[in-house]
């Protein structure tokens, strides 16, 4: 069902996606999803989000992706979203931030949930963030990209 909706929204001849301001997707590959299916799903999500952002109307995006076997690196495959103000990503596996989130210049609220949430050295959060929520059941330390402003008082 979700794949059919994503495919319908991502079709270029449809104009409905350009009016979407808030998009929430709860997607699952099932217990035996393959790496190829996972890549197909992330490509389909990226196409859907791109279609919804074409008119600059998409303000809030919620992604709940379960189960994903390998690490999920959303800033590597999410398209530039210039109007997005709120982003929530929840996955039942490792959520890995590998690159700077520079394609999200209007982002103010960010919620990340993974087991664990990993910030690689190149990962950077947009300076526009005013509300950050990290949910990591395995992490023991605050990522440097998040903790440095807190320690400069």
Q: Is the pLDDT of residue 6 over 50?
A: yes
SS (H, E, C) the chain: CHHHHHHHHHCCCCCHHHHCCEEEEEEECCCCCCHHHHHHHHHHHHHHHHHHHCCCCCCEEEEEEECCCCCECHHHHCCCCCCCCEEEEEECCCEEECCECCCCCCCCEEEEEECCEEECCCCECCCCCCEEEEEECCCCCCCHHHHCCCCCC
pLDDT per residue as tens digits for the range 58-100: 999 998 877 666 667 777 777 888 889 999 998 878 888 887 8
Residue 54 has pLDDT above 50, yes or no: yes
More confident residue, 91 or 11: 91
Task: Provide the token pair at 54.
Answer: 């074409």
Query: What crossing angle do the helices spanning 35-53 and 2-10 adopt, rounded to 10°?
Result: 40
**Range name among 43-47, 79-83, 102-106 with the lowest pLDDT average:** 43-47
Task: Compute φ and ψ for 5, nearest 5 degrees.
Answer: -65, -45
Give the rounded distance of the alpha carbon of 147 from its chain centre: 21
User: If we measure between CA atoms, which residue out of 51, 6, 49 comes closest to residue 27?
Assistant: 6
For residue 129, CA distances in Å to 9, 49, 80, 109 come to: 28, 20, 16, 6
């Amino acid at each position: 069902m979700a794949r059919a909706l994503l495919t319908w929204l991502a079709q270029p001849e449809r104009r409905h996606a350009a009016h979407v301001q808030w998009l929430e997707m709860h997607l699952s590959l099932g217990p035996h999803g393959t790496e190829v299916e996972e890549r197909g799903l992330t490509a389909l999500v990226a196409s859907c989000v791109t279609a919804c952002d074409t008119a600059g109307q998409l303000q809030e995006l919620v992604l709940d992706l379960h189960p994903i076997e390998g690490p999920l690196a959303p800033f590597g495959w999410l398209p530039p979203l210039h109007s997005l103000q709120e982003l929530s990503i929840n996955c039942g596996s490792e959520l890995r931030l590998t690159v700077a989130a520079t394609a999200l210049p209007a982002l103010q609220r960010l919620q990340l949930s993974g087991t664990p949430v990993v910030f690689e050295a190149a990962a950077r959060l947009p300076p526009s963030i005013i509300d950050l929520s990290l949910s990591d059941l395995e992490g023991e330390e605050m990522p440097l990209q998040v903790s440095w402003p807190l320690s400069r008082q």
